[in-house]
Structures are given as C-alpha cells and as structure tokens.
Amino acid sequence: MPARTNYGIDFDKQSISDTDVRGKKILLRCDFNIPLDRDTGAVTDDGRIIAALPTIRYLLDQGAAVIACSHLGRPGGVLSPEFSLKVVGERLTELLGKPVKISRDAIGEDSRRLAASLQPGEIMLLENLRFYPGEELNDPEFARALAALADVFVEDAFGSVHRAHASIEGVSHFLPAVAGFLLEQELRHIGGALENPKPPFIAILGGSKVSDKIGVIDNLLDKADTLIIGGGMAYTFLKARDGSIGSSLCENDRLQYARDMLVKAQRLGVRLLLPVDSLVAQRPDNSLNPDVVNSYNIPDDMMALDIGPKAANEFVSVIKDAGTVIWNGPMGIFELPKYSNGTRMVAIAMTDPHIVSIVGGGDSAAAIRQFGLEGRVTHVSTGGGATLEFLEGRELPGVACLLDKPGRAEV
C-alpha cells in the first residue's frame, strides 16, 4: 500500500528514478513562474530554474528528450508578450550549458514541429501555458494536445500541485505520470515529517492572518507536541485570551475559532505557546524606536511588529529540544531590520544539525534566504499555497494523479 498521511494524502509516488525514460519524450511540468524586472524584463531571481536542474539533467543524461513547460504570471488566457517564457529559456540555456529550443506556442504548429524533431539528450521549452484559457480550466482537449507531444509526463512543479490545471492534472489522463526529483523531495520531507516525525514534533506558525492557516492549525494540533504561534496571527489568539493588544493586527471574526483551538490544544495535551512579550511601535516604520512590552498589555496606540526577546528566547529553547520542526510564517515584519530579530532567532535555531527542520515556503523561505541560512536546514519548501494545503491534509490534484509505488512504471 502507498504511504498515506493521517490526513488522507498519498505521497509515496513513483518518480523518474522508478521509470525507464531512455529514448522517451518527456513532458516536464516545471515551476518557472519567476520574478522579472518590471522595466527590462530580465530575470531577477532564477531560484526556481536552478531547482529544476537536477531533474532536467537526469532526464537528459538518461537519453530522454525533454519538453519543459510552465506558466508565468497571470496573462488571463491571452497572449501577452511581457509574460513570454523566452527569457526563461535563455537563462535555462546558460545554466545547462546547452541550447534550449524555445517554442513560439504551447500546442500549435511550432511546438508540434519542434517536439517531433527533438532528439534524445535535447531539450525544448513550450511557451507560457496560461496564454491558453484551457490551461486553468483543465480543458481535456488542451490537456490532450499537450500530452500528444510526449510519451511520459513528469510533474516537478510542487508550487502548483494544489491546482487542478491541464498541465498539472489533466495530462495524467493521457500519459503515465511520475514525480520529478524536486517534487519527490517535497513529498518525502513534508510527508515524512507529518507521518512519522522524529519526536518531539514542534510546529511553528506565523504570518499575518489566522484565516490563512485555519486548516493548518486544526490539523497540526492533532500531530504536534507543541504549537508555537507568532507573527500577526498571534494577537488574535492573545485577544481571545482577553489580552489587551492595542492596535495590533487582529481578526475579530476569528476570535471564537482561536478560543476553540485553545480549548482543543488543552484537551489534546498540546502545548500552545504565544509570545509573552512583543516589540511595539505606533506604526511599522523602521525609523521609530520600538518598545518591549508584555503581549497581554499593549498600549492602545501601539501595535506589535515582532515578538519580544523573552518570547524569542522561549521559542528558541523549545526548538532546540525538538526532534522535528515545521515552520511556516515569520514572527514579525522581518523585512524591516528593527523587527527582524524574532524571525532571525527562530531561523537560526532551525539550523541545529540534530533537528529535522522543514521550512514551509513563502515568507519563511524568504527569511531563511535573507539570513543566509538556506543550506543549513533539512528542507526549504518551494511551495506557497501547495505547502499550506499539504499541511492541512487536503488532496493535491497534481500529486493524487501520479502513479503509486512500488515497482517500476511500465511506460
């Protein structure tokens, strides 16, 4: 039986290492949705391209012909030159040290011609999938046209697997579908941490809103030994405990939910930690000198912008004693130096080599990179929404459609 989390997600999927790809044409779904300079159109961060290289190089070295595809931006189903993947193809050519043939379309005459002539060890890149309405609509005919270019589908865009789009789920109805190395790594690390964590298991959640992480909180309370809540979302919980939080961020419509989760934690014997002190100022302005106050007694004209030093030290102490830690969401406005200390201390604590440390994408991943710590944690997720939905236990369409282990795929 394939491995399944307590939330019902099958994550033990066949990958390219289970599959004979030699001489096959591979439709490879990558996540090349990268930031571009608004004025010049140049690539400003090629991290997602670099993340795809191990899968691409393996396939090429194994004698496969690779037809890479991705979306970029939100062109709304119409051809928009500013969202062309041409610049991505040029950067990929530089990184691979070999030419990448760039198609002028995704399912038209040019892509069919290039795909038909593609030889083992060669790579091409289709034009932006979201130039076609059928991509986001998961239109079967669009998916069929993509699938017709190849023999095998390889899913490697973890950041998009929560979307039931044609290039994510639809093509699996026409081609055998397996995971690339990037997706396989995400499933192994996050799925393994959820299913069989090295104890004690600590979950850290931050960010601005409780509403963004309702399902995550509810699910992790069933798994974690300790749940740490920081960032703006902590102040909804503090107010739910009758704290005076000043003008700090608070979702008043989530106060009852917060109370319910506090009761659930107590019932399950889960330690739920909130910041005992906070760094406050009248507004998020790096030129102001913040004060440190008790989190339950924040002055009316002040707002919390970071956890305080006592809270940071308490959180670090708990992390240091952990076996497994999953962290998603910063402790404060870490982009401003005066309010970055809480997030920095948590990030540094995550680098303890004795801890299985999973950083759950988004702002947490950005913080790890900002502090120069990316290579010192077990895993930094490439997903945003996909990571959150994985932590919630939702079925991910781009994972559910892949072939299950064990055994080699017959393709």
In three-state secondary structure terms, 396 is coil
Q: Coil, strand or helix: which one is 43?
A: strand
Contacts with 40 (C-beta within 8 Å, 6 or more apart), sequence order: none
Beta-bridge partners for 359: 327, 380
Q: Catalytic pick from 192, 232, 361, 362? A: 362
- The rounded distance, in Å, linking the Cα atoms of 88 and 260 is 47
- CA-nearest of 320, 321, 323, 280 to 304 is 280
The answer to whether residue 385 is catalytic is yes
Which of 48, 91, 130, 223 is catalytic? The answer is 48
Asked if residue 290 has a cis previous peptide bond (ω within 30° of 0), the answer is no
Active-site residue identified among 101, 198, 209, 405: 209
Residues in a beta bridge with 155: 29, 179
What SS3 class is residue 279? strand
Between CA 350 and CA 326 the distance in angstroms is 9
Cβ distance 135 to 141 under 8 Å? no
Active site residue 77: no
SS3 28: strand
Q: Which residues pair with 306 in a beta bridge?
A: 279
In the chain, the largest separation of any two C-alpha atoms, in whole Å, equals: 69
Residue 258: both structure tokens together: 């917060």
Q: Which residues contact 81 (CB under 8 A, 6 or more apart)?
A: none
Cβ neighbors of 48 (< 8 A, separation 6 or more) are 30, 31, 32, 33, 34, 159, 382
32 CB-near residues (< 8 Å, 6+ apart): 48, 49, 52, 68, 70, 71, 72, 85, 88
> Counting Cβ atoms within 10 Å, is residue 340 exposed (0-12), middle (13-18) or buried (19+)?
buried
Closest listed residue to residue 53, CA positions, set 126, 123, 153: 123
Classify the phi-psi angles of 404: left when phi > 0, otherwise alpha if psi is within -120 to 50, otherwise beta.
beta
Residue 310 known to be catalytic: no
Q: Is 407 among the residues known to form the active site?
A: no
Residues with catalytic annotation? 48, 209, 362, 385
